[in-house]
Structure 1
Amino acid sequence: MTDTIDASLTMSWDEWYAHDGLGLAQLIRAGDVTAEEVAAQAAHAIKGVNPKVCGVIEVFDDAVADSAANGTNPQGPFAGLPFLMKDLGPTVAGRLQEQGSLYLKGNRPEKDAFLTTKIKQAGLNIIGRSTTPEFGCCSSAENPAVYVTRNPWDTGFTSCGSSAGSSVMVGAGVLPIAHGTDGGGSIRIPAGCCGAIGLKSSRGTFSIAPANSDFSSVVSTQGCISRTVRDTAAFVDHCRGGAPGEFMPFWHPETPFLEQIQNDPRRLKIAVSHEWGPYAATPHIAAELTRVAKFFESLGHSVEFVTPKVDFEKAYAAQTTCYISNFAQVVNNLLRMKGLDKPPEDLFEPMNIRIWEQGKDISYTTRADMQLDFNETARAFGAAFQEWDILLTPTTARETPTISTTEYLTTTDNPSALNWFENLWGFFAYTPLNNLCGTPGMSLPLAVHANGLPLGMQIHAAQGNDGLLLQLAAQVERAIEGKWNQGRLPQVHVTKLG
C-alpha cells in the first residue's frame, strides 16, 4: 500500500520517497510544505518502520514540533530537513548520548560538538538518535539488553555497523540522509549492507573537536549515509572544516562538490582487486565485482584487475594495534567519568573489556612501530594512486551475517581481542585501510548477494580526491537513472506502510 499512515500527513509515501534531502528542502523553501510538516512525516515514518528494524532510539518531539528547537538554521541548504544523529561521536547539547552502552545510560552532554554546530548551520534539524553498537566497536548493533537493529531487506539479518540505525533508516526510506561515523568502515559497511550510499572522506575533512583531534584519534572520521550522491556532496560541502585550534589544517576543494558532480569525470584508469594479502572475497562477491567492473568499462573508463603492491599482513596487524590501543584509552576516559579503575562486567560487553585489558598497557614504542607501518602502507597506496585514478573493490568480503552471529559481536566469549579483530578483517577487508591511510572510500549500492541482500561496491581514491569519487558516483547514478539496488526496494520500506 502507498497511502499515508495518517491522513493529516503532507504527502503520500511514494511522494515522500521520490524526493531526496535537497528535493525536500526545495519544497520547504518554495512554501509547498513547512519544515515542521516534513519532520512530522519523518516521525510517522519512524513510527511505522522502527518496530520492525529498531534503528532509532529516541525521537525528539520538540524538534519535530519546532524545527528551530535545536538551533537549526532555516536558511541553510537543507532548510530544516529532519536528520538523525548517530548515538556516538558529535554531542548535541542537552540530548542523551548513550553510545549503545548500559554503562552510559542517562549520559546527557551539555554542549554541542563543533560538527553539530556545522550540521545545524547547514539547515539539518536533528530529530532523534540512531542506534550503534557499544562505543561503535562492533560489526552490529546487537545486544538484546540494549537493542537489536535489523536489516530492512530481511530482518533475519544484521544491518552491520557501526552506523547501524542511520543506514537502516536511510535504506528503508524513512529519511533521505543521516549521520554516521567511520573508524574502519562504519559508514561504508552498513550502507553497503542496507542498500545506501556511504562516503568516508579524506582525513582533514570533518572535525571531531573539541574532545578529540585527528592526531589523537588517527583513524576515525565523520560523515553521512544518503540515497543520492548530491545529498552526500551537499553534506560534505556545508559541514566540513576544522574548529579553532585543530592539530592540523583542514582542506577545502577549489570547486564545491555539488558543482563538481554536475559533470562526468574524465576517462579514468580503474584498478580492480579483491585478494588483499590473507583475505579475499567469496566467489559470488568476486563475480559481482567483475560485473560491476565491466559496467564501469561501459562508461568509457579503462579497467584492469591489478592488486596494489602493499604489505597487507603488516597493514592489518598495525590496524589491529591501533584499534586495541586507541579503544583501551577510550575506555580509560569513560572510567574516569565515574571514578572507576576497571570496566564493570555487568555494564560493559565482554570483548570491549578484553580489548581494554589487552590494550591499556601497550607501550609508546609499539605505537611508534605501528605509525611506521601506517606510513609504509600509506606510501604504498600513494604509489598505486600515481598510476591509477580509482581502485574498485567490494565493500565487504563475506556475506551479511544473520542476527546472533556472535563471532563478530562484542558480546562474544572469544578470549582474544587479537583473534577477534583478525576475524573482523576477514569480513571487512577493504574498508579499514582507508582509515589507516586517510584516503577516501565510497560504498555504492551496485551489487547483490546471492540471497538477494544488497552488496556495496567500494571506490577508493588518493587522499584529497573525494571530489573525483563523487563525480564518478554521480556519473553512475545518471547512467542507472537513479535506480540504485537495480530499482528494488527492501521488505521494510516507507512505501509499504499501510
Structure 2
Amino acid sequence: MTTVLSWDEWSARDGLGLAELVRSGEVKPEELAAQAAAAAALTNPRIEAVIECFDDAIADASAGGTDLGGVFAGVPFPMKDLGPTVAGRLQEQGSKFMAGNRPTSDAFLTTKIKAAGLNIMARTTTPEFGCCSSAENPEVYVTRNPWDTDYTSCGSSAGTAASVAAGVFPLGHGTDGGGSIRIPSGVCGLVGLKSSRGTFSVAPYASDYAAPVSTQGCLSRTVRDTAAFVDACRGGAPGEYMPYWTPEVPFLEMIQRDPRPLKIAVSHEWGPYRATPHIAAELERVAKVFEDLGHHVEWVVPTVDFEKAYAAQTTCYITQFAQTVNNLLRARGLETPPADLIEPMNIRIWEEGKDASFTERSDMQYAFNETSRAFGAFFESWDVILTPITARETPRIGTTEYLTTTSEPSPLAWFENLWGFFAYTPLNNLCGTPGLSIPMARHANGLPLGMHLQAAQGRDGLLLQLAAQVERSLGGDWHGGAKPAVHVTTEG
C-alpha cells in the first residue's frame, strides 16, 4: 500500500497541520484523500465506523465543490450519515427504512464545510435517526470503540468518533441533540464541542425554532481544529428564525492565550443522577488540575429543578422523534412504521408522541424556560461548570438497555434510564448553552473518560480557551503517548 506520509506522520498531524502540507506543496489533497481511504480500509474491519468512501472525491478533491483555498485546504472529512445533506450522496440515517435515500442538494452547512476547504470524502455510522447511545444494530452495522473493541463508541456520532480516534481522519462531522458529539468524543478520547444555539445552521430542512435542541459540529483530536471548524462554518442561512452570532475575536485567535483565572463549579449529583465512585474520583482529580492552573474551583451544584428539566427533555425527544418518523411515513404514504424496517423503540416513541397535544409541548417549553433561567442565574456567579461526560461506565457491545433495539416496553422508562447514563449533557441542548468534552480522565478499565465543561450561552470561546490551556500544559498530547488498540499506526 503506497501512502504519501508514514502512518506516524499522518496521525501526528491534525487537520490544520495537514492543510499546511497542502499549502506548502509537499502533498496534494488527493494524496491525503487516498491515504484516508487506505486508513479506513485498514481499521474498518475491526471498528466498522466508515460506511463508504467516495471514489470521485478521492480522485479530485475539488469535484464536489470543495474550495481548496479554504483554511483546511482539501483535508479529508467524513460526514455523519445524519443531518446536513450532501448532493448525490446516500444518507440512510442508520435505518433500513432509509436505505437508498440519496438527497439531490447540499444543505447550507454542507456548503460552509466545502468553503472551509474540507473534502467530504466519506460517511460514517450513526444509530437509527440518531436516537440512542450506540450504532449497534447487527442488521445494519456494529461500530466499536477503537480503544477496546469489546466496548461501544457510544453515539450518536458513533462512526465519526471511532474513525477520528483510530487516526483515519483528523476531524469529522457530528450532530448533537443531547450529547451526540460530546459523549462519543468522551468515550473515544477526543475533543467535542456542542456549540451555543445560533452558531451552525440546520437550513433548509429545519431551524433552531423548529428543532431547538439539536445542533451541528465536529469531533477532533485538537482544540485548534475545533476552533477553526467553528470559525469557518458558523453562520445562518437567509431566512433564519433567529439571529446568528459571531464572536468579536475568532476562536482560533482566542485560544492562543490563556483565559483569565476562572470560577469553576464542580458537581456530579444532578437531581436523581450521580456518577459512579470511580468517575467521581476522576472528577475530583481533574478539578485539582484546573486549580493548579490558577482557577478557583469549588464543589457547587446549580440550583435547578433537575427532575422537571429531564422530564421536559423527555417530552421534547419523544414528540420530535415521533414527528421525524411521522414525516418519513407520510413521504411514502404509510400510516404506521414497518416493524421490519424501523427499530422497536423508535416505533414505541412514535406511538407515544405522535398525538401529543399543544398543552404538552407548551408545558415543555415553560420547563425549558425555567431551566434556562436557572442556569443563566448560576452563570452570573460562575464561569464554568465541570462535570464528567457520563455518570456510568462505557457499555460493552451487546448492552441493549440503551439501544432502540431494546425490548423495554416504555419510552418514558427508557429515556429515564438513558438520562441516568448521560446525565450531564442533555440540559445544554435544552438551554442552548455550550458544552465541551475534553479527554482528561480514564475509566477504571482504562477507556477514555471525557470531562465536560459548560458555560453560559455564547461563551463557547471561553471553553475552547480553557481546553487549549490544558492542552498546552500537556504538551499537546492528551493521552501521554497512548494510542487506541485499533489505530493506523498499529494496523498499518
Q: TM-score, normalised by structure 1?
A: 0.98
Offset, 1:337 = 1.6
Q: Which amino acid aligns with 1:403?
A: I
Out of 265, 278, 281, which is 1:271 matched to?
A: 265
After TM superposition, the structure 1 stretch with the greater mean CA deviation from structure 2, 268-277 or 61-70, is 61-70
Report matched runs for 1:402-417 at 5 Å. Answer: 402-417=396-411
User: CA–CA distance in 1 between the matches of 2:137 and 2:64?
Assistant: 30
Q: Which amino acid aligns with 2:35?
A: Q
User: CA–CA distance in 2 between the matches of 1:482 and 1:287?
Assistant: 24
Are residues 1:286 and 2:285 paired? no
Structure-2 residue corresponding to 1:347: 341
Structure-1 residue corresponding to 2:190: 196
Structure-2 residue corresponding to 1:208: 202
Are residues 1:495 and 2:489 paired? yes
Q: Which amino acid aligns with 1:102?
A: K
Report matched runs for 1:307-322 at 5 Å. Answer: 307-322=301-316
Report matched runs for 1:212-361 at 5 Å. Answer: 212-361=206-355
Structure-2 residue corresponding to 1:11: 5
1:389-414 CA distances to partner (integer Å, 9 max, x unpaired)? Answer: 00000000000000010000000011
Secondary structure at the residue paired with 2:376? Answer: helix
Structure-2 residue corresponding to 1:420: 414
Structure-1 residue corresponding to 2:380: 386
User: CA–CA distance in 2 between the matches of 1:380 and 1:116?
Assistant: 35
User: CA–CA distance in 2 between the matches of 1:281 and 1:485?
Assistant: 23
User: CA–CA distance in 2 between the matches of 1:113 and 1:485?
Assistant: 35
Structure-1 residue corresponding to 2:462: 468
Are residues 1:59 and 2:53 paired? yes
Report matched runs for 1:20-99 at 5 Å. Answer: 20-99=14-93
1:205-235 CA distances to partner (integer Å, 9 max, x unpaired)? Answer: 0000000000101100000000000000000
Offset, 1:70 = 1.0
User: CA–CA distance in 1 between the matches of 2:335 and 2:73?
Assistant: 46
Report matched runs for 1:100-119 at 5 Å. Answer: 100-119=94-113
- Matched residue count: 492
Offset, 1:74 = 0.6
Secondary structure at the residue paired with 1:100? Answer: coil
1:308-349 CA distances to partner (integer Å, 9 max, x unpaired)? Answer: 000000000000000000111111111112111110000000
Out of 338, 354, 373, which is 2:367 matched to?
A: 373
Secondary structure at the residue paired with 1:386? Answer: coil
Offset, 1:110 = 0.4
Structure-2 residue corresponding to 1:438: 432
Secondary structure at the residue paired with 1:253? Answer: coil
User: CA–CA distance in 2 between the matches of 1:427 and 1:481?
Assistant: 32
1:78-104 CA distances to partner (integer Å, 9 max, x unpaired)? Answer: 000000000000000000000000000
Contiguous gaps of at least 5 residues in structure 1: 1-5
Structure-1 residue corresponding to 2:137: 143
Offset, 1:497 = 2.2
- RMSD value, Cα: 0.6
User: CA–CA distance in 2 between the matches of 1:70 and 1:49?
Assistant: 26
User: CA–CA distance in 1 between the matches of 2:357 and 2:330?
Assistant: 21
Structure-1 residue corresponding to 2:173: 179
User: CA–CA distance in 1 between the matches of 2:421 and 2:476?
Assistant: 29
Offset, 1:485 = 2.6
Q: TM-score, normalised by structure 2?
A: 1.00
Offset, 1:442 = 0.2
Q: Is the 8 A contact 1:447 1:485 kept in 2?
A: no
Q: Is the 8 A contact 1:10 1:37 kept in 2?
A: yes
Structure-1 residue corresponding to 2:480: 486
Offset, 1:69 = 1.3
Offset, 1:18 = 1.1
1:447-468 CA distances to partner (integer Å, 9 max, x unpaired)? Answer: 0000000000000000000000
Q: Which amino acid aligns with 1:189?
A: I
Structure-2 residue corresponding to 1:3: none
Secondary structure at the residue paired with 1:83? Answer: strand
Q: Is the 8 A contact 1:446 1:486 kept in 2?
A: no
Secondary structure at the residue paired with 1:485? Answer: coil
After TM superposition, the structure 1 stretch with the greater mean CA deviation from structure 2, 283-292 or 169-178, is 169-178
Secondary structure at the residue paired with 1:67? Answer: coil
Offset, 1:487 = 3.0
Q: Using the aligned pairs only, state the percent identity.
A: 73
User: CA–CA distance in 2 between the matches of 1:335 and 1:91?
Assistant: 19
User: CA–CA distance in 1 between the matches of 2:190 and 2:166?
Assistant: 9
